Amino acid sequence: MTLPKQIIVKETLSELKDLQRKSGHLIAKRLRILIEFKKHEETGISKRAVSENTGINHNSITKWRNVYLGFTQTNKMFVNKGLQSKKPEIDARPLRKPFKNPCR
């Protein structure tokens, strides 16, 4: 069996809990994961154990953990990531110039 990953969370528990209270439902789940990692910072904790403690799917925990570890700044980027739409944004400009009839 592999050893659990040790993840060092820069924020304090009080900061994380405060952000969790102020954030929406999806972001609060991510912060709950960070709180679990913060509690087990010295010994490390497996994604399965975090999943059992929080009730969040282990695949989501892996994804969010990698996103958090990928950032070098504070977790503001982690929190502000939000959902991304797959639909392209509609531009307000017309797509092409209107057709002019040359016979007129």
pLDDT at 92: 58
pLDDT at 103: 75
Q: Are 37 and 50 in contact (CB under 8 A)?
A: yes
pLDDT at 87: 58
How confident is the model over 12-56, as pLDDT tens digits?
A: 999 999 999 998 888 898 899 999 999 998 888 988 999 999 999
pLDDT at 55: 92
pTM for this prediction:
0.63
Q: What percent of the chain has pLDDT over 90?
A: 32
User: Among candidates 85, 8, 91, 88, which has minimal Cα distance to 44?
Assistant: 8
Domains of the chain, residue spans: 13-80
